[in-house]
């Protein structure tokens, strides 16, 4: 996770808590842009994903999250603390945008947490080409801008969605269920979550070997043969079926390395 931390540290100070939100709760970029103080339940330990900021053409609008699916996600204590520090330094701002379409009814979010230097909702295109790529370069994910070059190197596999993938990888590694992960990510179908992240799940043979090895250890049966190995002075020989090496990480999850 060193790369994740390095990228977040390379973001503008006013958005570092936004990067922590994307990684700490698995939010999509537009959901981070549309996140408000009212969406935080500090006492209960949850955040509520109620809206996003998205582009329709070149116009930013408020809208429901993808699939019109609002959700709640557990709030880690360190992220809650980061929110409080952020709000002291960058007080929440009221932002008005059309709802769902450029000519939609204006809606005001009274206390948006993350806005740009001009107190406007973040524009995805501007943010990705500027602040995000600079953070990638600062973390060494992409090279610095070459002398005379107008843009930084393209990084389609290392967009901000990589923080969301990193969140998924951490939860699966900790043993969280696909069903719970699906709910926290806002997927409509746990089967989609399984297909997307199956490569991050421990292989069945790895789980099998570990379970039996753990059982042998707990019962004190040593090698599991029922007969103590003869001590002839030779070095011990590894027993059991070797565990296969881990599968290579997909480009989607490069930042989770």
- Residue 233 DSSP one-character state: S
Q: Where are the domains of the chain?
A: 2-144+155-200+250-256
User: Which residues, 6+ apart, have CB-to-CB distance to 219 below 8 Å?
Assistant: none
Residues 6 or more apart from 115 whose CB is under 8 A from it? 14, 93, 95, 121, 122
pLDDT at 246: 39
How far apart (Å, rounded) are the C-alpha atoms in residues 196 and 187?
11
**Region class of 216: left (phi > 0), else alpha (psi between -120 and 50), else beta:** alpha
pLDDT of the chain along its 257 residues, tens only?
899 999 999 999 999 999 999 999 999 999 999 999 999 999 999 999 999 999 999 999 999 999 999 999 999 999 999 999 999 999 999 999 999 999 999 999 989 999 999 999 999 999 999 999 999 999 999 898 877 777 788 887 889 999 999 999 899 888 899 999 999 999 989 998 988 887 776 655 666 677 777 877 765 544 444 444 445 555 444 444 444 443 444 544 444 33
The per-residue pLDDT for 149 is: 75
pTM: 0.79
Q: Into which CATH architecture does domain 2-144+155-200+250-256 fall?
A: Orthogonal Bundle (1.10)
pLDDT of residue 206: 65
């Amino acid at each position: 996770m060193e790369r994740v931390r390095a990228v977040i540290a390379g973001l503008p100070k006013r958005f570092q808590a936004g990067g922590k939100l994307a990684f700490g709760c698995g939010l999509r970029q537009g959901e981070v842009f549309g996140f408000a103080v009212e969406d935080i339940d500090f006492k209960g330990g949850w955040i509520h994903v109620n809206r996003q900021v998205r582009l329709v053409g070149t116009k930013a609008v408020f809208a429901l999250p993808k699939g019109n699916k609002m959700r709640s996600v557990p709030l880690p204590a360190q992220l809650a603390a980061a929110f409080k520090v952020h709000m002291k330094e960058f007080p929440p701002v009221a932002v008005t945008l059309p709802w769902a379409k450029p000519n939609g009814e204006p809606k005001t979010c009274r206390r948006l947490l993350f806005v740009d230097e001009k107190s406007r909702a973040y524009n995805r295109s501007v943010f990705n080409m500027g602040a995000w790529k600079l953070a990638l370069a600062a973390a060494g994910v992409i090279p610095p801008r070459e002398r005379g070059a107008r843009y930084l190197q393209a990084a389609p596999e290392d967009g901000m969605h990589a923080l969301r993938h990193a969140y998924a990888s951490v939860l699966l590694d900790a043993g969280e269920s696909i069903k719970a992960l699906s709910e926290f990510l806002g997927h409509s179908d746990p089967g989609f979550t399984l297909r997307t992240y199956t490569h991050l799940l421990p292989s069945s043979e790895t789980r099998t070997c570990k379970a039996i090895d753990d059982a042998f250890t707990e019962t004190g049966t040593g090698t599991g043969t029922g007969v103590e190995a003869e001590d002839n002075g030779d070095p011990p020989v590894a027993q059991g079926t070797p565990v296969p090496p881990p599968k290579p990480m997909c480009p989607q999850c490069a930042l989770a390395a």
